[in-house]
Amino acid sequence: MDIVTGGAGFIGSNLVRALADRGHDDVVIVDDLEDGHKFVNIADLPIADYLDKDDFLSRVVSDKAFARAISSIFHQGACSETTEWNGRYMMKNNYEYSQRLLHHCLRQGTPYIYASSAAVYGGSKSFVEDPLFEHPLNVYGYSKLQFDRYVRRVAAQPESQVVGLRYFNVYGPHEQHKGSMASVAFHFNNQILEDGEARLFTGTDGYKDGEQLRDFVYVDDVCNVNLWFLDNPGVSGIFNTGTGRAQSFNDVANAVIQWHGRGKIRYIPFPDHLKGAYQSFTQADLTQLRASGCDVEFRPVETGVKDYLDQLCDRQQP
């Protein structure tokens, strides 16, 4: 069976669907449904079972046998709120939990594909999988970086597959529960629907209004990268997962406006609380990903946003 932690979340639920579309009929979701609103992400998925994240970890730590053998673990679960500053909570959820799953997988020889983050780079201008360029701006980024460091130390040449995927700015279906942490494509779409204007930040860090640049990557492409590594169990390492092409927030807003055929952009003051803790530029260096053999193609914002809004529209049809 395949385990997807965070399987009721944004990327996790899309990954479960991608596995199901491939014919995987023994997928188990691990998550925390204290926020019950996330159930909508998995209500129509043909999963084999659901386990609470704490119950699952207890069984993993004790190496208690499951009813069926685990063939892979996709560890997507984490606290992903970049504005969360409770470091103790963040490290327990994002670092310690990941460590325990790692050691279980190493003991059992189970492929372990986990979600890292481009937040490890912080304000860097180079986004290469190298300690020289890893300078997180918040404790979320630090929690992800510290686990990557741990993997480099204890699983530099693992006997079984260990893969960390540094996700850049992912957007797509099933992110509605993330609130303020949902993608700008999600927020711009809602803003256009509500009052006809997408609200973007004014310029900062030398960038003009709305021209801050991010590597926006569509969730289906992220899932395809995960599945490529599942198909290639001999490949391990830490890899960037983005398009390799930075685009502006204006590009995203204009793609949403074009899809609706109406709307405009309004620029609002840059928030004081984000100054000094905000990535104004991200762009994945794909050299190592391509060197691994991964040939997944990434769609640009103009295509990805259209695909996203087409899906949202289909789901809203009676």
Q: What is the CATH number of the domain that holds 21?
A: 3.40.50.720
115 belongs to a structural domain: yes
Q: Which residue among 97, 140, 167, 218 is the active-site one?
A: 140
Confirm whether 66 is domain-assigned.
Answer: yes
Per-residue confidence (pLDDT) for residue 317, from 0 to 100? 45
C-alpha span between 41 and 139 (Å, rounded): 27
Q: What is the pLDDT of residues 121-147, one digit of tens each?
A: 988 889 999 999 999 989 999 999 999
Q: Which of 50, 178, 207, 267 is catalytic?
A: 178
Domain assignment present for residue 250? The answer is no
In a domain, 274, yes or no: no
In a domain, 178, yes or no: no
How many residues are recorded in the chain?
318
Rounded CA separation 135/219 (Å)? 25
> In this predicted structure, which of 72-81, 164-173, 271-280 has the lowest mean pLDDT?
271-280
Q: What is the pTM of this model?
A: 0.94
Query: What span, in angstroms and rounded, lies between the C-alpha atoms of 272 and 61?
Result: 43
Per-residue pLDDT at 74: 98
Cβ–Cβ < 8 Å for 183, 170: yes
Q: Which amino acid is at 35?
A: D
Q: Which one-letter DSSP state was computed for residue 102? A: H
Our answer to whether residue 38 is catalytic in this structure is no
Q: Is residue 315 situated within a structural domain?
A: no
Q: Would you call 140 a catalytic residue per the annotation?
A: yes
Of 148 and 35, the structure prediction assigns the larger pLDDT to 148
Q: Domain tally for the chain?
A: 1
Helix axes 97-108, 139-154, angle to 10 degrees: 20
In a domain, 275, yes or no: no
Residue 210 lies in a domain: no
Domain coverage including residue 235? 2-168+218-243+286-298
Helices of type H across 155-299: 184-195, 219-231, 249-260, 287-291
- Report pLDDT for 179: 87
